[in-house]
Amino acid sequence: MTTVLVVGGGGREHALCWSLGRSARVDRIIAAPGNAGTALEPRCENLAVGAGDPAGLVDVARRESVDLVVVGPEAPLAAGVADALEAAGIPTFGPTAACARLEASKAYCKTFLESLSIPAGASATFREPEPALAYLDQLPSVPVIKAGGLAAGKGVIVAETRREAAAAIHAILVDRRFGDAGNEVVVEERLWGTEVSVLAFSDGTDFVVMPPAQDHKRIFDGDRGPNTGGMGAFVPSPVATGALIDEVGNRIIRPTLDALAAAGTPYRGVIYFGLMLTDGGPKVLEINCRLGDPETQAVLPLLESDPFEVMLACATGSLGEVSVEWSDSACTTVVVASAGYPTASAPPGPITGLDAAAHEGCIVFHAGTDLIDGVTHATGGRVLGVTALGNTLAEATDRAYTGVDTIAFEGSHHRRDIGRRAPEPSRLPPSREVSA
């Protein structure tokens, strides 16, 4: 009897449960806490233990003789869930807190990258508004303003003017818009180019890069509006060529993993590099210590190898002994969000059309859902990730949108351009240098 415990309750964790449910080696999956979608997966059950309760998770893992714990979100990893599980001798897919700090502290990440001469935007970190504003004044161009801690993908403000940048510094350090995640602010050189996410499985020594995913961070079509956790993703990204992946592997991933191993903190799990492909080569925007969401929803359906074997190999340092094979197909995920996302939440409301979307050939991953009186309800935020495979990106995307069009709930909204336009490089407009 092989049991896997999946920690978290979003779209990424539903995709993990779905994927692990297809493993020939997995008999039982426990999602903690899971969502309405994980509860319906075969061999999967939800358990009301929070992702932020390390002692509770260790108890469950022991009591249920769990063979592997897969931790989805960043916050429990940063809080040391993997450390607690590993101390209890339970194989864990997900890095320790020392490694997760690369995501949890942007200031630490910047120092780490600098120490290894890994290319990234120039930056400075501040805890007080006055020196941050003085630094802003002397910069030649408008920088990006980042809350230093974990802010659910919303803590980065890509300011267009100095006034906006100054307001963002104020909102983070003075108004405390992101709470303690805003104890520090990172003021970072704005980079221009095409963005791509490169994710890799790692067992601490070896790594295997996944097919590159294209995320869509902004809320509106055409990459407009505020940043979100991600409104959709597709795989493969046309910008990430084999040569680029080799370069990223050699110049970015390899030195990062070697440095962590040399520090006695080998990285086990998925390491995620958010990159800007600039005229001067790929530069790191961020490192995440986990699978991306929604990227996972578009990547895992393409994994042809046994997901349990791959994740267990990462947890136990034997990735070199398993083969990791991917389908050549394309996959698109369109996120359907509730009214007000990403700034406000909406009251729960029933969802219709889920079965019809499945009939169209879509896999509907749940994120912000709950079963209320036996009916699946949207409970706010990113609610669903409607996912479809196809022989081509166009086929996958059309199928995903056919599914999206069958689904309805009060106030739902989604982007219409996921997978439908090639990622465009951002180019420095001449007026940018002089904007007020």
Examine residue 385 and tell whether it contacts ligand GLY (CB under 6 A): no
Does residue 390 bind ligand GLY (CB under 6 A)?
Answer: no
Q: Does 103 bind ligand GLY (CB under 6 A)?
A: no
Residues facing residue 235 across a β-bridge: 331
Compute how many residues bind ligand AMP; rule: CB under 6 A.
Answer: 15
What letter does residue 254 receive in the DSSP assignment?
H
Residue 306 binding target from ligand GLY, ligand AMP, none, CB below 5 to 8 Å by type:
none
Q: Which entry of ligand GLY, ligand AMP, none binds 72, CB below 5 to 8 A by partner kind?
A: none
Phi (first) and psi of residue 52, to 5 degrees:
-95, 20
SS3 content of the chain, % helix, strand, coil (to 5): 35, 25, 40
Task: Convert residues 206-245 into a mask of x (bound to ligand AMP by CB under 6 A) and - (unbound).
Answer: -----------x---------x------------------
- Alpha-carbon distance of 190 to 159, in angstroms, equals 9
Measure the CA–CA gap between 417 and 334, rounded to whole angstroms.
9
* Residue with nearest beta carbon to ligand GLY: 230
> In angstroms, what is the minimal distance from the CB of 9 to ligand AMP?
21
Between 150 and 393, whose beta carbon lies closer to ligand AMP? 150
> Which of ligand GLY, ligand AMP, none does residue 229 bind (CB under 5 to 8 Å by kind)?
ligand GLY
Count Cα atoms within 13 angstroms, Cβ side, for 262: 7
Looking at 288, 297, 338, 376, which residue binds ligand GLY (CB under 6 A)?
A: 288
Task: For residues 244 and 361, give the distance between their C-alpha atoms in angstroms, rounded to a whole number.
Answer: 33
Q: Binding to ligand AMP by residue 77, rule CB under 6 A?
A: no
Kind and range of the H or E run holding 156: strand 156-158
Using the Cα atoms of residue 67, residue 72, residue 76 and residue 82 in order, give the sign of their dihedral. positive
Is residue 292 within the footprint of ligand GLY (CB under 6 A)? yes
Cα(346)–Cα(378) distance, integer angstroms: 9
Distance CA(212)–CA(214), nearest Å, equals 7
User: CB under 6 A: which stretch of 8-16, 67-75, 174-182, 184-192 binds ligand AMP?
Assistant: 184-192
Whole-angstrom distance, CA of residue 8 vs CA of residue 76: 9
- The reply to whether 274 sits near ligand AMP by the rule CB under 6 A is yes
**301 is a site residue for ligand GLY (CB under 6 A):** no
Which CB sits closer to ligand GLY, 123 or 288? 288
State in angstroms the smallest separation of the CB of 267 from ligand AMP: 19
144 contact choice in ligand AMP, ligand GLY, none (CB below 5 to 8 Å, kind-dependent): ligand AMP
Helix (H) or strand (E) holding 270: strand 268-278
Chain Cα centroid distance, residue 370: 22
For residue 323 the two structure tokens come to 């083969």
State the residues that interact with ligand GLY by CB under 6 A: 153, 215, 229-230, 288, 292-293, 295
State the residues that interact with ligand AMP by CB under 6 A: 121, 144, 146, 156, 158, 188-191, 195, 217, 227, 274, 285-286
